[in-house]
Chain A
């Protein structure tokens, strides 16, 4: 049977016209969508205002909910800590003693390092923290990995600034509202971080895989330099991230690289620090230095 030439809601002209103009309006909507999408692709900064305002209005809601869930979660994990407390206590004491010995060693190394650097007259900048914010939400509906932090341009945050936690690198700012900003996590596919192996110092490239893990490739082709448990830190190349921030720990080797897990897990990190870029000039051209996001 041939399909009818058009949907007819009845004999009412008004209803027929309504249907027809609705159809035209849908096509217009599709075209507008394609135009907006094209603009997002070629000129993402055109939406900086809209996206900033959206972040400012939505992040407080997420932040308030986050506060509530951490309080409730804290009740449960707090109760869990009392379970098996004696054994935990012994373990922690032992660990504390071990850490104490390591701290003394580290202090000695720092001292020595300082003397050596002074001897070499090496000028070192430690980037100042611009702002700190709580990680309140993430893009859990998408394959892209973003997090939302509760610090924005009002606190001095600018697009392109690196974000770290106490444990390690988190990512860099891609959208900034006045009280909240969106961070491109290091586990996102579009976030490429120049890095080096902590053991040996070989230069590697770290790219997110979109599933919570990180892909590591050595810059020089050759023997696979990775071992399980290796730590990778930022190298400072590119000028955004200051050198020496831990990025990831290797968990699996593949043929010419390795798969690693981020050291700073955003779901456990409560505070994120936004820092000045290592080189000031990197902020002026973050898109060129890092490729499109």
Chain B
């Protein structure tokens, strides 16, 4: 890359970080842990950071997080955020399977396709959570789900940017 020649850091001794293979998974756990921030609100409109960053990594490159890691990462998310245990395990594994199958079908990829895929998966995530909440006794009107969903879709490019910046850092580019 031409611009990297103008950077201050030398080109010598740069390379992947020592834990480069695990950094994507660790950042996803860190994003899930954002739920521990001491924010006390009456309205829960903040997006599901763990799922957003997981999708960003997966859409950025298919080898950053092996598909089967989705289940343990989902379990960590369940425990950290306090949602019913097994919910994120299911949704995250399902999302990875769906994307694995979709990867064979899609003929081209660009930012818009990725954003649309992310929006669809975020919608699926919210609909499943809405159904599970109803099964657990909290029958929300679907109107309550819309605004957090729209916020999550609009925040996705930010998460994608974060994933690509982290990717460049971990590979020492």
Chain A residues packing against B (C-beta within 8 Å): 1, 3-4, 6-7, 22-23, 25-30, 32-41, 44, 47, 50-51, 54-55, 58, 61-63, 65-66, 69, 135-148, 175, 182, 185, 187-190, 209-212, 262, 265-267, 291-293
Proximity string of chain B (100-137) to chain A, C-beta cutoff 8 Å, 1 when within and 0 when not: 10011101000000000000000000000110110111
Please determine whether B89 and A143 come into contact, CB atoms closer than 8 angstroms.
no
Size range of the interface on B?
35 or more
Please determine whether A142 and B81 come into contact, CB atoms closer than 8 angstroms.
yes
| A141 and B97 contact, Cβ closer than 8 Å, known pairs A33-B71, A33-B90 | no
Please determine whether A188 and B138 come into contact, CB atoms closer than 8 angstroms.
yes
Closest approach, in angstroms, between the C-beta of A16 and any C-beta of chain B? Answer: 15
Please determine whether B48 and A147 come into contact, CB atoms closer than 8 angstroms.
no
Closest approach, in angstroms, between the C-beta of B87 and any C-beta of chain A? Answer: 6
Select which of B40, B48, B84, B96 is within 8 A of A37 by beta carbon.
B84
Chain B contacts for A38, CB-based, 8 A: 86
Closest approach, in angstroms, between the C-beta of A26 and any C-beta of chain B? Answer: 4
A141 and B66 alpha carbons, distance in the complex (Å): 26
Select which of B87, B88, B97 is within 8 A of A26 by beta carbon.
B97
Chain B residues packing against A (C-beta within 8 Å): 35-49, 66-68, 70-72, 74-75, 79-94, 96-97, 100, 103-105, 107, 129-130, 132-133, 135-141, 144-145, 148
Select which of B71, B103, B141 is within 8 A of A7 by beta carbon.
B103
Chain A contacts for B40, CB-based, 8 A: 135-138, 140, 147, 266-267
Closest approach, in angstroms, between the C-beta of A10 and any C-beta of chain B? Answer: 13
Closest approach, in angstroms, between the C-beta of B149 and any C-beta of chain A? Answer: 10
Chain B contacts for A189, CB-based, 8 A: 133, 137-140
Please determine whether B44 and A141 come into contact, CB atoms closer than 8 angstroms.
yes
A62 and B34 alpha carbons, distance in the complex (Å): 10
Select which of B70, B74, B81, B105 is within 8 A of A139 by beta carbon.
B81
Chain B contacts for A40, CB-based, 8 A: 84-87
